[in-house]
Amino acid sequence: MAENKIPATLIPGDGIGPEIVEAVVEVCEALGAPFAWDRQLAGLAAVADCGDPLPLPTLESIRQTGLALKGPLTTPVGGGFKSINVTLRKEFELFANLRPARTLIPGGRFDAIDIVLVRENLEGFYAAMEHYMPLDHDPKAIAISTGFNTRAECRRIVEYAFDYAVKNGRKKVTVVHKANILKALTGLFLEEGRKVAKEYEGRVAMNDRIVDACAMQLVLDPWQYDVIVTTNLFGDILSDLIAGLVGGLGMAPGANIGENAAIFEAVHGSAPDIAGKGVANPLAMLLSTELMLRHVGRLDLAQRLGGGIDAMLATGIRTRDIGGTAGTRDLTDALLQQIR
Ligand code: ATP
């Protein structure tokens, strides 16, 4: 019924975006997902329409709905346009970046991987306070970068990770840091991590790892990890590492989450080389939708979608990027068969 619908902004995006977003819309309908989509433009499509890659009506829609599913966007090169993703992150203070990775196709490098990485999205070395100092005749003899972490943000991101664990039936959160060397910058993160963990004692276990040891263990024994929470730069690196454990960025979903808005997207780009050919793989976008369903508390539908994706892949159907011959339509139909 219309009154139970959850308003959500839908941005088809550029390149293959409209094709894979259409697959999502169909699948959501078949699932009975409660989203009332408000379609908005961004990226090259918006530049063609009104000269602005992030038009005000799109921002206003996200402000109203607090929820968006976004196809891949291309920030136009030249013309002085700011990165769309960075603008969205700042505009809506999207403090958490969520990057889950689970084995979808058995027989790859690792089977049965199921890790969720939560990355702090606003602070650390991404503050980009950088400059050079001259020495002798070299104006760039010394490069300096200053990072910062605030206690409030450390707390907020760790709380988000523990809260995510509780709501999604996860058992352990690992706080990843480098507090032995960056004693202030990531020591504060660990300190807050330990405090927050006490509040969840008995519900979610906590341990901590130094980032370099974590990177090694992720390759040697990734099954020991459940939810990982870490600072901005470490999260950037480790999120791609865990995507690599399950076959790369091609099928990786992601979300950027704030107090008042959450934006869900595929990690891959707009793939202009295959746009309009009907061969794009919609799985990353569909997995982002699974995350979105979890975010709005519809674990039942998220599990049906996730289970449907597993069952569909178990039939052996694959798009070209993962070694098959199926097109976007074939894959979508195969998934619809599983979830109906
Ligand atoms: P952008 O500038 O938007 O990031 P890009 O081409 O640099 O675009 P991707 O869009 O991620 O980066 O594409 C990298 C390669 O992966 C391309 O060859 C593309 O065709 C392929 N690719 C990316 N996403 C998909 C997908 N969903 N299905 C099939 N192939 C894909």
For 142-161, what is each residue's pLDDT tens digit?
Answer: 999 999 999 999 999 999 99
Task: Please say if 236 is a catalytic residue.
Answer: yes
Q: What is the pLDDT of residue 239?
A: 96
Reported as a single tens digit per residue, the pLDDT across 10-29 is 999 999 999 999 999 999 99
Of the residues 268, 330, 331, which should be mutated to test ligand 1's pocket, given the most ligand atoms within 8 Å of the CB? 268
Helix (H, G, I), strand (E, B) or coil at 333: helix
Whole-number Å distance, alpha carbon 237 to ligand 1 midpoint, is: 20
CB half-sphere exposure, 167, CA atoms < 13 A? 16
For the cut 80, the answer to whether the pLDDT of residue 78 exceeds it is: no
Indicate the CATH number of 1-98+251-340 among 3.40.50.720, 3.40.718.10, 2.60.120.310, 3.90.600.10.
Answer: 3.40.718.10
Q: What is the pLDDT of residue 127?
A: 80
Reported as a single tens digit per residue, the pLDDT across 47-72 is 999 999 999 999 999 999 999 999 99
Q: What is the pLDDT of residue 250?
A: 85
Q: Which residues line ligand 1 (CB under 6 A)?
A: 16, 72, 74, 250, 268-271, 273-274, 280-281, 284, 321
Q: What is the pLDDT of residue 3?
A: 59
For β-strands 138-148 and 205-210, DSSP reports them as: unpaired
For β-strands 253-257 and 227-230, DSSP reports them as: unpaired
Nearest atom in ligand 1 to the alpha carbon of residue 271 is 10
Q: What is the pLDDT of residue 87?
A: 92
Q: What is the pTM of this model?
A: 0.95
Q: Which CATH architecture has domain 114-245?
A: 3-Layer(aba) Sandwich (3.40)
The answer to whether the 1-98+251-340 and 114-245 domains have the same CATH topology is yes
CB half-sphere exposure, 135, CA atoms < 13 A? 6
Task: Give dist(CA 244, CA 238) in Å, integer.
Answer: 10
Element at 144 (helix H, strand E): strand 138-148
For the cut 60, the answer to whether the pLDDT of residue 2 exceeds it is: no
Mean pLDDT of all residues in 181-186: 97
Q: Break the chain into its structural domains and give their ranges.
A: 1-98+251-340, 114-245
Helix (H, G, I), strand (E, B) or coil at 258: coil
Interhelix angle 328-339/17-31, nearest 10 degrees: 10
Mean pLDDT for all residues in the chain: 95
Q: What is the pLDDT of residue 4?
A: 84
Nearest atom in ligand 1 to the alpha carbon of residue 74 is 3
Nearest atom in ligand 1 to the alpha carbon of residue 281 is 28
Q: What is the pLDDT of residue 82?
A: 84
